[in-house]
């Protein structure tokens, strides 16, 4: 099945099966404790289209004095992270996604990544713009960071169709399992 058809099918299923996670931040904080480097800055995302809602997790990070950021989409399908807190002003971009208006660019130590689908090898299917793959490739050349995909277990696919641009995540967390 093509990525385009798979994406459409998974988004339809996600809309029907969407639910809230309970205590997901505990799983994320457990992963952070196991990492061999210091985490100070977190990159999250503003959930759309029945994605896993990571905003409660990001608010917990803010409470624990982490610097939190959200992505801003730029020209040529580029993405950068900018400072965010729960009382930050947001504007809606051309894709309908709220973004911070902060001018302070952030290079996160940990990035929470939204998923449309994933496989057991920790490859993800996104919306097809390549924003996260480009970001991981570009920033990974000069900064060490960890990526955690947030997903529902029903979004797992036996094997995703991949291309040379697809980047593997470090972890994927579902309500049932942590892939590491």
Higher pLDDT pick, 11 / 138: 138
Whole-number percent of the chain with pLDDT over 70: 96
Cα three-residue angle 50-67-132, rounded to 5 degrees: 45
| Confidence (pLDDT) at 30 | 77
| Confidence (pLDDT) at 128 | 81
- How far, CA to CA in Å, does 160 sit from each of 19, 117, 126, 135, 168? 24, 8, 11, 20, 12
The CATH H-level (homologous superfamily) assignment of domain 3-179 is NagB/RpiA/CoA transferase-like (3.40.50.10420)
| Confidence (pLDDT) at 89 | 86
Confidence of residue 177 (pLDDT cuts 50, 70, 90): confident
| Confidence (pLDDT) at 87 | 83
Which residue from 174, 180, 179 is spatially nearest to 14, judged by alpha carbons? 174
Whole-number percent of the chain with pLDDT over 90: 42
| Confidence (pLDDT) at 19 | 67
User: Hey, which residues does 67 pair with through a beta bridge?
Assistant: 41
What average pLDDT score do residues 30-46 get? Answer: 85
Q: Does pLDDT of 20 surpass 70?
A: no
Higher pLDDT pick, 165 / 108: 108
Confidence of residue 21 (pLDDT cuts 50, 70, 90): low
């Amino acid at each position: 099945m093509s990525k385009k058809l798979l994406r459409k099918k998974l988004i339809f299923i996600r809309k029907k099966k969407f639910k809230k996670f309970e205590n997901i931040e505990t799983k994320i904080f457990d992963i952070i404790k196991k990492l061999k480097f210091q985490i100070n800055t977190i990159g999250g995302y503003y959930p759309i289209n029945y994605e896993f809602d990571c905003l409660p997790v990001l608010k917990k990070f803010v409470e624990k004095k982490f610097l939190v950021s959200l992505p801003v989409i730029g020209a040529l399908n580029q993405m950068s992270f900018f400072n965010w807190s729960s009382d930050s002003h947001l504007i809606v971009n051309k894709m309908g996604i709220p973004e911070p208006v902060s001018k302070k660019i952030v290079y996160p130590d940990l990035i929470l990544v939204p998923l449309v689908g994933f496989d057991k090898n920790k490859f993800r299917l996104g919306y097809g713009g390549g924003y996260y793959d480009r970001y991981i490739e570009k920033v990974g050349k000069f900064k060490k960071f960890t990526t955690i995909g947030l997903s529902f277990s029903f979004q797992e696919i036996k094997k995703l169709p991949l291309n040379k641009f697809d980047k593997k995540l470090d972890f994927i967390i579902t309500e049932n399992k942590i892939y590491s």
